[in-house]
């Protein structure tokens, strides 16, 4: 089925990408099956697709034959393009009359700097729309058979970034909620954050997981405890991009997979 066939199945019709407009869209975590139909419509109609490093090649392959692919983002943790440069590039392309698809991994407004880009576009009057995407935090949990919420287990889910400008973030406040914590961009700070959460009272035996490259052929899942997670991840060479989830919901995986629940726990 081509992208157009898939879109033709839509009852409400396909949104039309006007020249000079920017669509700020989420590409989802990797698997093209998790793209929205609106993002697909953007890929099929765009003149230029400005994407970041996390956008899966299988998703980029859905771009129309005349679309130009432009990489803008970070590679290997090194900023190859500054945020201001990217925003200015979007403005310049739109002003040149292009249909500009700004495609970001996951959801553009979840730890994706999409907010900054949207603000620049708004400030200079470039018309744009935002198309949400399936964020890695939710997709990785689902891919690992870990329910994000379960009645009787939790009634909130916390999404937090494991690194950012604000290094004196209040981990204690998060730990106190007793609700599961889903961490993005955390692999380099895992040891430190796990220690901070334990110092704040989260039990060392709290179930915890790392889900790397979720929904891609390279997906790997590690089940451990808060205390052992960083060491296990290091020893087993888990690499970014990865989502970490800490909380009792991790244990539900064993039940969903029909495994012995105790097998997911570390011995005391
Ligand atoms: N806007 C994105 C997040 C960008 S921040 C979203 O909504 O998903 C980058 C972080 O996202 C990575 O460090 C990693 O924590 C997470 N991530 C993105 N894709 C992922 C994937 N396929 N598997 C696991 N984690 C992923």
Task: Report the chain (268 residues): mean pLDDT per 10 consecutive residues.
Answer: 60 87 98 97 98 96 97 68 91 98 98 94 98 98 97 96 78 96 96 96 98 98 98 98 98 88 49
106 Cα to the center of ligand 1, angstroms: 6
Check residue 267 and give its pLDDT.
46
Contact 29 CB / ligand 1 (< 6 Å): yes
110 Cα to the center of ligand 1, angstroms: 9
134 Cα to the center of ligand 1, angstroms: 10
Q: Residue by residue, what is the 3-state secondary structure of the chain?
A: CCHHHHHHCCCCCCCCCCCCCEEEEECECCCHHHCCHHHHHHHHHCCEEEECCCCCHHHHCCCCCCCEEEECCEECCEECCCHHHHHHHHHHHHHCCCCEEEEECECCCCCCCHHHHHHHHHHHCCCEEEECCCCHHHHHHHHCCCCCCCCCCCCCCEEEECCCCCCCCCHHHHHHCCCCEEEECCHHHHHHHHHHHHHCCCCCCCEEEEEECCCCCCCEEEEEECCCHHHHHHHCCCCCCEEEEECHHHHHHHHHCCCCHHHHCCCC
Residue whose CA lies nearest to ligand 1 atom number 2:
106
Say whether 185 is catalytic: yes
Q: State whether the Cα torsion 116-119-120-126 is positive or negative.
A: positive
Catalytic residue (one of 56, 98, 185, 232): 185
pLDDT tens per residue across span 230-252: 999 999 999 999 999 999 999 99
105 Cα to the center of ligand 1, angstroms: 7
Check residue 90 and give its pLDDT.
97
Residue whose CA lies nearest to ligand 1 atom number 25:
242
Check residue 77 and give its pLDDT.
55
Contact 121 CB / ligand 1 (< 6 Å): no
Ligand 1 pocket: which of 31, 104, 136, 146 to mutate (most atoms within 8 A of CB)? 136
Has this prediction a pTM greater than 0.95? no
Catalytic residue (one of 7, 31, 38, 52): 52
Give the mean pLDDT of the chain.
92
Nearest Cα to 251, choosing from 175, 146, 138? Answer: 146
pLDDT tens per residue across span 163-201: 875 567 899 999 999 999 999 999 999 999 999 999 999
Measured CA distances, 49 to 117, 121, 213, 254 (Å): 15, 16, 22, 40
């Amino acid at each position: 089925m081509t992208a157009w066939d898939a879109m033709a199945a839509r009852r409400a019709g396909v949104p039309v990408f006007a020249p000079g407009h920017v669509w700020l869209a989420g590409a989802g975590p990797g698997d093209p099956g998790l793209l929205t139909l609106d993002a697909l419509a953007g890929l099929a109609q765009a003149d230029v697709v400005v994407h970041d490093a996390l956008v899966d090649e299988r998703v980029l392959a859905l771009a129309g034959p005349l679309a130009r692919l432009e990489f803008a983002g970070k590679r290997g943790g090194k900023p190859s393009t500054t945020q201001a440069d990217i925003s200015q590039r979007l403005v310049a392309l739109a002003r040149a009359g292009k249909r500009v698809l700004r495609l970001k991994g996951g959801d553009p407004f979840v730890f994706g700097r999409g907010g900054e880009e949207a603000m620049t576009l708004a400030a200079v009057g470039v018309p744009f729309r935002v198309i949400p995407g399936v964020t890695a935090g939710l997709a990785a949990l689902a891919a690992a058979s870990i329910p994000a919420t379960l009645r009787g287990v939790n009634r909130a889910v916390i999404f937090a970034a494991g690194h950012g400008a604000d290094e004196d973030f209040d981990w204690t406040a998060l730990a106190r909620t007793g609700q599961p914590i889903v961490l993005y961009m955390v692999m380099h700070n895992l040891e430190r954050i796990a220690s901070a959460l334990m110092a704040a009272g989260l039990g060392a035996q709290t179930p915890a997981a790392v889900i790397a490259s979720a929904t891609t052929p390279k997906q790997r899942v590690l089940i451990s405890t808060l205390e052992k997670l960083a060491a296990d991840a290091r020893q087993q060479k888990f690499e970014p991009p990865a989502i970490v989830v800490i909380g009792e919901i991790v244990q539900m995986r064993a039940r969903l997979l029909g495994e012995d629940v105790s097998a997911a726990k570390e011995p005391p």
